[in-house]
Amino acid sequence: MDLFTLHFTKNEPLYQQLYHYIKINIEDGTLKPHEKLPSKRKLSDYLNLSQNTIQSAYNQLLDEGYLYSKERSGYYVEKIDWFMTPIEKKDISIETKKTKNYSYDFDFNSIDTSEFPKKEFAKAYKDAIEEVSLFETTGSPQGLYSLRESISRYLLSSRGVDTSPENIVISSGAEYLYDLLIRLLPKKTVYGIENPGYAKIGLLFRENKLSHVPVPIQDNGIEIEDLNENEIDCISISPSHQFPTGILYPISKRYELLKWATQENSWIIEDDYDSEFRYSGKPIPALKGLDKSDRVIYLGSFSKSFSPALRISYLVLPDSLMLRYLDLAHFFVCPVPSLTQRVFQQFMDNGNFTKHLNKMRSLYGRKREHLISELLKTKFPLSFLGTEAGLHLHIRLHTQIKERILVEKALNHDCKVYGITDYYYNNMNPHKTAELLLGYGNLSEVQITEGVQKLKEAWKDCF
């Protein structure tokens, strides 16, 4: 009986405390296989517990296989050949690196939230919640059909892309879409990525151990001979507003790429990430709109044009890849909630998305002009690069001071700008010039003025 000397607490039912105590003694070998346990009456008297409490603990151990019983004899320890040894928990907490917030952050990923159409979006939400059951199944892995219809109409009117809802796949962010494409294309595919370009794309290919080659960006885009020399099967580009250089692929280059894809039986991934915001001339049709051979995979998103929190992006797949997708569709699920999809479909169909887009295009256009004006007032020796589109400026500063030093000096004056070198493959910038990215989407005109004054103070000795 000395074995059963234990101290009870008020934090847990008594039978559970007894159950845990006996279980631990069985697992660590203190109680041997086939060893008889005290009778309910004796243990009840010894521990000053009711027999019902003892019985409840024994029953739990019986159910879990730690004990067996013999009629008119009692309870015995079951022979168990193997126990999983509990692993000592280690502190694996990772110290989160604190990110400093700057008063003037020329972030090119941020948008202006002050003009968000809360009233109209709330109405769309109210209408949608009356139509969508919160308990309905996930539905089609391609996403809500009615939203795909809305997107197909929008693409035809705004981007010149004539596609059907059947060829659209809705997902949640570019990373999801690229991961899907990796599954659809052969494993031996050699991918090409723009250099400079989005670092995440190269990282995604690297993590999946896929062959990929950085392709240099020239003044009019990538060169076809670079694609052929590297035997690239699929090239990822952003031809309407290349990130981060801001260049526009001219129509001649677009037809060269389409000809290459057709002749080589290769693919083009067109990332049309912020093409809605063009501030001069006519809107440039998407490359997909010129594609007669069905070799362009179109990737779109509403993160810049509406809200990154919505997390709605989509693919327009060529027919041959759509067939491949349908073969694998049972492996996929649309990660965007049905209610979110229905809300945005309502918002598009009632015309509020187009109104919002037109309003934001005007707003961002004014901010862009204001930023250019303020930079010119500084008398910095600079050049503006890229086309008049998107949510950031690409500038070149004519100075012997290194790009990194300019960024650091700005940070020391509570102002954050972004060097283009960070977006070159392996951070290897072949050019000697200092080039910076200045976003303006999240800043007011007053903040832009104040921020540029901070840059003037930071760089006063650099020219």
pLDDT tens digit sequence for 386-413: 989 999 999 999 999 999 999 999 999 9
- Residue 104 placed within a domain: no
Lowest pLDDT segment from 172-181, 289-298, 425-434 = 425-434
Output the pLDDT for position 137: 60
Residue 89 has pLDDT above 60, yes or no: no
How far is Cα 1 from Cα 43, in angstroms, rounded to an integer?
8
- Residue 29 placed within a domain: yes
Residues 386 and 399 in one domain: yes
Domain CATH for 143: 3.40.640.10
Residue 37 has pLDDT above 70, yes or no: yes
Residues 125 and 213 in one domain: yes
Residues 157 and 272 in one domain: yes
In 3D space, the residue among 112, 110, 114, 132 whose CA is nearest the CA of residue 345 turns out to be 132
pLDDT tens by residue, 309-338: 888 999 999 999 999 999 988 888 899 988
Is the model more confident about 71 or about 133? 71
Residues 167 and 281 in one domain: yes
- Residue 105 placed within a domain: no
Residues 214 and 332 in one domain: yes
Output the pLDDT for position 91: 58
User: The domain containing residue 65 runs over which residues?
Assistant: 2-77
- Residue 138 placed within a domain: yes
Residues 274 and 368 in one domain: no
SS (H, E, C) 289-335: HHCCCCCEEEEEECCCCCCHHHCCEEEECCHHHHHHHHHHHHHCCCC
Average pLDDT, the chain: 90
Residues 368 and 276 in one domain: no
At 44, is the pLDDT very low, low, confident or very high (cuts 50, 70, 90)?
confident
Domain CATH for 428: 3.90.1150.10
Residues 396 and 341 in one domain: no
Q: How many domains does the chain have?
A: 3
